Structure 1
Amino acid sequence: MGALAFRAAGRSPVLGVMVAYVAVSAGFNASPLVTPSDAIRSSLTAAAAKTVDPGYVVTPVATYFFSAVSSVFLAGIITLVVELVLAKRPEYAPSEEDGDPAADGPAIRLTAVERRAMKLTAGVLELFVAVVAVLLVVPGSPLLGAGGSLVQSAVVVNISVFIALLFAILGFGYGRVTGTIPSLSAVPAIMAGGVAKIAPVIVLFFAVSQFLAYFTWTGIGSVVAVGGADLLRSLNAPHLVVLLATVLAVALLNMLVTSGSAMWAILAPIVVPMMMYLQVRPEAAMGAFMIGDSVTNAVTPMSPYFVLALGFVQQYRKNAGIGTLMSFTVPIAVVFLIAWSALFAIWYGLGIPLGPGVSLR
């Protein structure tokens, strides 16, 4: 998509591939929408926090404000870096190597049935959101939390359930109209195919759950967390410095462990309690992790998406190699690390909530 868009604008498709890759990978944890990754991170954070405070709750929207603002902020950063520096390199100028635009195949067109299905799903989406919004406004609604709290409402605390329900309704409606889902009995087989694609993640979560259980049972996490907290307390380091050091450490570790879920499953039982003993909220630690886990995604050859992006680049530049991709991604990753950390520091300094009902201090 990036290559086609840049080529249509008379620019190098190679530049389009690289911009799309860096934007998606280095800014992975910045989104204006709540994502499955938010639900995974919040559940792991909550499990780790409960080793210190059994009643602590972390919702999937705990860092929503910061994440949404970061998505716009990083979009501006990558635009400035690309347009002012990288796009001026001669290797990213349009050339005959880019091939003929017609070679990319015919333009994609929606059929009349698909357009009708899209309109139907758009209407259902609006209706679903409207119904949920009304139920959150009505006093005494079962969706509201204790005392009519919106932050602790069923929608916020269990937002992943509502997202799953929404997409199940939209998917079934679209499939029925287009004929890809002939009947309700076909849904289990389709769901099985979808689950098969995420089977490695399910296996990972099984291992992670055992890992967390052993950490709680043995008390190793508490010992390490208390020891680490005592060390940091003896250094008398400001909380912001500790959080920024966490960003840098995670960014370096991300070069080797490219799965954010796996890495946070390992780090959360240690980092979160340690931060809590220092009177730093778990959500602040999670926010620091989000930054470090994103910025180096685009520069590690350990990532399967790095190889995938290189393959797309080689479609237009046959002699492109790892160095070609690294020469583009490293400058942006460094700028992302500095700029995003600076935004986090300003956010922390101003005391702006990370998400609904979640203050940094």
Structure 2
Amino acid sequence: MNDRGMQNNLLQRMLNGVERTGNRLPHPVTLFALLAGLVAVVSALLSFTGISVEPPGGGEAVTVNNLLSGEGIRYIFGSLVDNFIGFAPLGVVLATMIGIGMAERTGLISVLLRSFILSIPKSLITFGLVFAGILSSLASDAGYVVLPPLGAMIFAALGRHPIAGLAAAFAGVSAGYSANLLLSAVDVVLGQLTIEAAATIDPAYAESMNLAMNYFFIIASTFFLALVGTLVSQFVVEPRLGRYQGGYEDESRDEEATTITAQDRRGMKWAGVAFLVTVALMALLVVPPGAPLRGEGGAIVQSPFMESLAVVLLIIFFVPGLVYGIVTGAVRNDSDVAHKLSDTMAGMGMFIMLAFTAGQFVAWFAESNLGIFMAVYGAEFLQAISLGGVPLLILFVVIVGFINLFIGSASAKWAILAPVFVPIMMQLGYSPELTQMAYRVADSSTNIITPLMPYFALIIAYAQQYDKNLRIGSLISIMLPFSLAFLLFWTLLLIVWMLLGLPLGPGASTYYGG
């Protein structure tokens, strides 16, 4: 056997081990319930020690909140329903699925996918999925809802494994979250925290910084990560999954995959008209000065429009889907509409149950303050070992990636870590812009391998439509090659960028001159 074959076998054995270990875990619904219980027990044990941490940047000391105390039990009972309803993905997913469900149940999505498949080279589909996933961060979390199921359907129509398509899209959406061709809300939130942290060392330098400080690098990263994701999908993930042996809810999709009828074309034409009219009306709410969905000062990045993207997607999918259904005869009256939407919601039952237990765990973990302790102790360790330059950058990326397995919010983690690491790196001669980009690399790359990421449960629900036996370990083993490849090659790209002294963004050097 040649070296390449031995390496492939070693990788497959490692991934098989990850899958076996992970699949020994209980069902995701049960697992999140057990994790919530574990958080309660650990919070009680640590609270008895009286330990506390000082938040970076000052403020009162933070202690562990005992969830098994009288006050903690009152919190658990009093917040149970709110934790479920307030679970971040729940409302966004269900609302968006109303629009997507109409477009899917009337057949619009299916015919558009067939047209898409027949119009582009098949060799570019994987790249296109990952690339589109990376760009979807402009739409906040909507990419999680839209692209993975679309990726699965595209691959299924091509005779490829649908979960490979889902995985490629998920990798782009989540692991490539900090890359894009345009600035997004992520740049605004993280950039402001970075500027504030830099001001503690050099207020004059902080005043010269801008929120587009990583713009050049994230543009390059968009194409770079799309290529890396494509190679991982085609040479690691798809060979591992093999040939798809399952069935589909609608067996006729295989026969329809290469056919576009005259009725389909007529429906698409009028759906396209409906889409353009809908977009034009939406634009009137956003584009003109003083439009109601603009933010303060005419801003669009931070605006009611960006905050209501779930509603925008609902409308943009629903209207063309309804028009397509009317033209093709799939929708004849309001009862047809109601039945199609109820069928869509019926398919979301598992996700709703996952949202209930996952919502409790996420809320209890935040209430206990255990995440803050993990982040602060990780930061203190990195500061204490006194590394410099590239080794410090690499270790910083590794620690942030590890912390990200437990704390999903990018802004919450950076609010804790920026006041510590931005000054440290500045004192070593490295710019705040570089530190922020290193954080973004680590934070994005490990999103796809932690069950604590809010949308992880949704991806499992999507995948189980094609493999009812797929569990947490299986999904982690599928996504792990993407995560490791993104973490490795994205970090190397950043190191090369730093060593060459290339600007990360407008006026943003990788080095700080003090």
Write the mapping of 1:162-177 to structure 2, written as runs, cut at 5 A.
162-164=300-302
Q: Which of 13, 30, 38 is residue 187 of structure 2 equivalent to? A: 38
Say whether the 8 Å CA contact 2:157–2:253 is kept in structure 1: no
In the other structure, the counterpart of 2:466 is 316
Q: Deviations over 1:267-313 (max 9, x none)?
A: 01111112122221111100110111011100011112111111110
Q: Distance in 1 between matches of 2:414 and 2:462?
A: 30
Q: Distance in 2 between matches of 1:356 and 1:312?
A: 40
Write the mapping of 1:5-154 to structure 2, written as runs, cut at 5 A.
5-55=154-204, 56-57=206-207, 58-89=209-240, 91-100=241-250, 110=271, 112-118=273-279
Q: Which amino acid in the other structure matches residue 52 of structure 1?
A: I
In the other structure, the counterpart of 1:248 is 398
Q: Distance in 2 between matches of 1:304 and 1:17?
A: 17
In the other structure, the counterpart of 2:449 is 299
C-alpha distance 159-88 of structure 1, shift in aligned 2 (>3 A): farther
Q: Distance in 2 between matches of 1:228 and 1:51?
A: 19
- 1:162 Cα deviation from its structure 2 partner: 4.7
**Secondary structure class of the residue paired with 1:62:** coil
Q: Distance in 2 between matches of 1:160 and 1:311?
A: 39
Q: Deviations over 1:225-279 (max 9, x none)?
A: 9x977962xx5x3x22221221111011111111111100110111111212222
Q: Deviations over 1:13-53 (max 9, x none)?
A: 22111111122111111111111011000011111111122
Q: Distance in 2 between matches of 1:124 and 1:30?
A: 28
Percent identity of paired positions between Structure 1 and Structure 2: 34
Q: Which amino acid in the other structure matches residue 243 of structure 1?
A: L
Q: Which amino acid in the other structure matches residue 71 of structure 1?
A: T
Q: Distance in 2 between matches of 1:102 and 1:345?
A: 50
Q: Which of 469, 487, 490 is residue 337 of structure 1 equivalent to? A: 487
Q: Which amino acid in the other structure matches residue 473 of structure 2?
A: G
C-alpha distance 230-48 of structure 1, shift in aligned 2 (>3 A): same
- 1:174 Cα deviation from its structure 2 partner: 12
Say whether the 8 Å CA contact 1:117–1:173 is kept in structure 2: no
Q: Distance in 1 between matches of 2:446 and 2:178?
A: 12
- 1:338 Cα deviation from its structure 2 partner: 1.0
Matched, 1:286 2:436: yes
Say whether the 8 Å CA contact 2:232–2:482 is kept in structure 1: yes
In the other structure, the counterpart of 1:137 is none
**Secondary structure class of the residue paired with 1:34:** coil
TM-score, normalization: structure 2? 0.49
- 1:70 Cα deviation from its structure 2 partner: 0.7
**Secondary structure class of the residue paired with 1:304:** coil
- 1:98 Cα deviation from its structure 2 partner: 3.8
Q: Distance in 2 between matches of 1:160 and 1:257?
A: 33
Gaps in structure 1 of 5+ consecutive residues: 129-157, 181-199, 208-220
Say whether the 8 Å CA contact 1:12–1:98 is kept in structure 2: no
C-alpha distance 34-86 of structure 1, shift in aligned 2 (>3 A): same
How many pairs are equivalent?
284
Q: Distance in 2 between matches of 1:102 and 1:37?
A: 42
In the other structure, the counterpart of 2:506 is 356
- 1:6 Cα deviation from its structure 2 partner: 1.5
Gaps in structure 2 of 5+ consecutive residues: 1-149, 255-263, 290-295, 320-358, 367-375
Q: Which amino acid in the other structure matches residue 479 of structure 2?
A: T
TM-score, normalization: structure 1? 0.68
Q: Distance in 1 between matches of 2:246 and 2:477?
A: 22
- 1:330 Cα deviation from its structure 2 partner: 0.9
Q: Which amino acid in the other structure matches residue 14 of structure 1?
A: I
In the other structure, the counterpart of 2:127 is none
Q: Distance in 1 between matches of 2:278 and 2:192?
A: 35
Q: Which amino acid in the other structure matches residue 64 of structure 1?
A: Y
C-alpha distance 69-6 of structure 1, shift in aligned 2 (>3 A): same
